[in-house]
Structure 1
Amino acid sequence: MWTTVCVFSTWTLLFLTHVCAQSQRRQVFTCGGNITAESGVIGSQGYPGVYPPNTKCVWRITVPEGRVVVLSFRFIDLESDNLCRYDYVDVYGGHVSGQRLGRFCGTFKPGALVSMGNKMLLQMVSDANTAGSGFLAVFSAAHPHERGEQYCGGKLDKPSGSFKTPNWPERDYPAGVTCSWHIVAPRNQIIEVKFEKFDVERDNYCRYDHVSIFNGGEINDARRIGKYCGDSPPAPVFSDGNQLLIQFLSDLSLTADGFIGHYKFRPKKFPTTTLAPATTTQPVTTRPIPLKYSVALCQQKCKRRGTLENNYCSSNFVITGTVITAVMRGGSMYVTVSIINVYKEGNLVIQQAGKTMSTKIVILCKKCPFVRRGLNYIFMGQVDEDGRGKIAPQHFVMAFKAKNQKGLNVLKNKRC
């Protein structure tokens, strides 16, 4: 009996000693800081406890010269929002004027993020409301992929040229690399980009290895034209102005063949009287809608008419999707929609990068119906001769919710 008690007491003591040692080793995470090291761990203030409200924390990471910073989120739990407007973490590829590599919230973990140089900055912002456990991320110094004496990417300002992933075409692109090509044309010209070959790690949401193309010279989600992965070359891309930024990112896992793309400058010409023929090289999203038609149409009172059922058969196309870009031009709104489901395709032109599908839609009257970037909708409308979706006030558009799915599936099998 006495021996048993002694053994039990000894075991209890060892257990308590182990627990105390573990608690002493647990890292305490504070709000921001300057970190100079080859590797390390960063966590939100108080992690794994709930992070405090109304805070702004900044972490500045510096690794040895000649190396790049590779950051991976191990855990993330921040207030969820489609546009990450409330609580979020921003990651920048530099301390002062670095490009933003991404903004993150909710529980979605992105692939590895790689800086162009030896510095990276994280900024976490929280508002007064909902909170979570925050985030935990690890960083390390890595050797950049070199091509000659330069990192991949750079400024391209000749009238035409090419860009490609490191190692193309001899072998797969390397893991953990970021390439940014900044294409700059004269002020009176736009830029056309075409991919000749394309093979980037496939993922339904292009979360890991991917190519992003932005209007302008910086990474800005509001000006992103598209995000591409998989083995299908994206459709030709045209800039709105005289600058484009193309960013390629690979994480630290799977790789693939990569890609080669070509660009060239084109005159900035927009037809004003008649529509250009279907074979034109101008993007369909820049063609203005005839003015008289738009003005007369937009004088109608904006009110949704009918139901899903009685609009289905009269529509050329029926899709559900997320608005990823929405740009006002004249009296119309030009929208890019990331497709959730297609119920009726008609002659609608659908672009596909891997398993990600998107299409272009013109809302003839910019405020009727009014749509917001980042939200999901049901679109029912007509298709013009170029395969572009066209939505007028009399067409049917409404917010898409999961409960609508069953009714749409029934309509898909309906004979019109």
Structure 2
Amino acid sequence: MWRVFGALCAWCLLWTNGACAQQPFGCGGNMTADAGVIGSQGYPGVYPANTRCAWKIAVREGKVVVLNFQFLDLESDNLCRYDYVDVYNGHVNGQRLGRFCGTFRPGALVSTGNKMLLQMVSDANTAGSGFLAVFSAAHPHERGEQYCGGRLTKPSGTFKTPNWPEKDYPAGVTCSWHIVAPKNQIIEVKFEKFDVERDNYCRYDYVAIFNGGEINDAKRIGKYCGDSPPAPVFSEGNQLFIQFLSDLSLTADGFIGHYKFRPRKFPSTTTPPSTTTQLPTTRPLCKYSAALCQQKCNRKGTPESHYCSSNFVITGTVISAMIRRRSLHTTVSIISVYKEGSLAIQQAGKTMSAKITILCKKCPSVRRGLNYIFMGQTNEEGRGMVSPHHFVTPFKAKDQRVFNTLKNQRC
């Protein structure tokens, strides 16, 4: 690590007439060393528009690359569609370890081999100072160090946090497991033990599971933290990507999980617990929504009459909407939370968002870019589920007073 700090000092301390001058970075490059510093073009000044810069990192054979973002300030967007930094495992056709924007810094990113690729893209409108990151070489997890992750292709196996079960997982690490089954099979994941720093929004330490082979918000199955093991997870296809991240503060016991391959005909999601507050989960909704969507679409009742029976109540802006079969899958940028319930809320900087599925794509009807009041239920993954009998209506500033009153009432 002293070499990393030395590289930082060499970069930021260029003494001229007794003053410290900062040397701006260029667009990309090849970094062949066991430690170094990477910055966006022009850092610490504002990065230029319409650019695509790539940095290739290579450390000694037998080592892995550990990357830490010291500073991150790119145009903020919940889906990182405009300005972003992609980090890849390897140099060519590598697995993407993550896409980042805004100001929320991820934990340490760790490659499975001795190479890593960073690529920063900016569009015509820029905002921010870019990023500053340091990298270093480390022993892979198999040699007893704290790093972890890898590609799993055996029919069954186990994955766990570093140090399990002897002591808490370390701070500031990212573990990424890419599970690949034969094309005619799916993957089942179960957690035997689970203890990850608790937070209502899972902002600090968490496990995220994605369909496919990379971090992709549109394909995320769930994001988990706390001390209760998540329900079993089933992939839609033959690949799953599991990411564990810990920040630089509190840690906990960690987890041990098991996976196994299943025939594709096996149900591809879990059966919900028998409660009155949860709807069937996403996959079995096909038959459920087919009958549901034949009903006439009339909103009934008032916010007051639906408030206590709803698991969550929020106001927000629809920022993405995608039709899948009969349902509409939306991402909502949250304006206010009046009743959180078990809704999974993600946060990037000051922006909060949630995933809400409208079971019947046209009932209730919502449009991207408009503001709505959403009142509904959640499934066991924390996704909001809205059916025709729930309450959704366009949100106007005058409605704020009604919901502020409802927020304080006892159900």
The TM-score with structure 2 as length reference comes to 0.74
1:259 Cα deviation from its structure 2 partner? 0.9
Which residue number in structure 2 is paired with residue 320 of structure 1?
Answer: 314
Q: Structure 1, unaligned stretches of length 5 or more?
A: 1-16
Aligned to 1:364: 359
Q: Indicate yes or no: 2:280 matched with 1:286.
A: no
User: How many Å apart are 1:268 and its aligned residue?
Assistant: 4.4
CA contact (8 A) 2:176 2:242 kept: yes
1:55 aligns with 2:51: yes
Q: How does 1:220-369 map to 2 (within 5 A)?
A: 220-250=216-246, 255-269=251-265, 284-287=281-284, 288-290=286-288, 293-297=291-295, 300=297, 309=303, 312-313=306-307, 315-320=309-314, 328-333=323-328, 341=337, 343=339, 362-369=357-364
Query: What root-mean-square deviation, in Å, do the aligned CA atoms of Structure 1 and Structure 2 show?
Result: 4.5
Asked if 1:168 corresponds to 2:168, the answer is: no
Match of 1:9 in 2: none
Cα gap change, 1:403/1:226 in structure 2, threshold over 3 Å: closer, same or farther? Answer: farther
Once the two structures are superposed, what CA deviation does each residue of 1:305-354 show, in whole Å capped at 9, x if it has no partner?
A: 58964553585444228889977443123679899846385xxx76799x
Deviates more, 1:323-332 or 1:389-398: 323-332
Report the counterpart of residue 65 of structure 1 in structure 2: 61
Q: Does residue 1:27 correspond to 2:23, yes or no?
A: yes
Mapped partners of 1:321, 1:163: distance in 2: 38
Q: Distance in 2 between matches of 1:388 and 1:132?
A: 32
Question: Structure 1 residue aligned with 2:87, among 76, 91, 96?
Answer: 91
Q: Which residue of 1 aligns with 2:6?
A: none
The aligned counterpart of 2:3 is none
Kept in 2: contact 1:316–1:344 (CA 8 A): no
Alpha carbons of 1:46 and 1:325: their partners in 2 closer, same or farther (altered >3 Å)? closer
Match of 1:115 in 2: 111
Pair 1:376–1:33, CA change in 2 (3 A): farther
- Tell me the matched-pair count: 381
SS at structure 2 position matched to 1:66: coil
1:379 aligned to 361, 374, 387, which one? 374
Local SS of the residue matching 2:60: coil
Structure 2, gaps ≥5 residues long: 1-13, 275-279, 347-351
- Report the secondary structure of 2:314's partner residue: strand
Matched, 1:200 2:174: no
* Correspondence for 2:100: 104
Q: 1:139 aligns with which of 135, 142, 145?
A: 135
State the distance in 2 between where 1:148 and 1:62 align: 22
Separation (CA, whole Å) in 2 of partners of 1:415 and 1:252: 38
Say which of 358, 364, 387 aligns to 1:392: 387
CA contact (8 A) 1:350 1:358 kept: no
Cα distance in 2 between the residues matched to 1:180 and 1:383? 27
Alpha-carbon separation, structure 2, partners of 1:114 and 1:224: 20
Classify the secondary structure of the residue corresponding to 1:231: coil
% identical equivalent positions: 69
Q: Which region of structure 1 is more displaced relative to structure 2, 201-210 or 214-223?
A: 201-210
Q: Which amino acid aligns with 1:86?
A: Y
* Residues 219 and 318 of structure 1: CA distance in aligned 2, closer, same or farther (over 3 Å): closer
Deviations 1:4-26 (A, max 9, x none): xxxxxxxxxxxxx9653545x53
Which of 33, 36, 44 does residue 32 from structure 2 map onto? 36
Which structure: larger Rg? Answer: 1
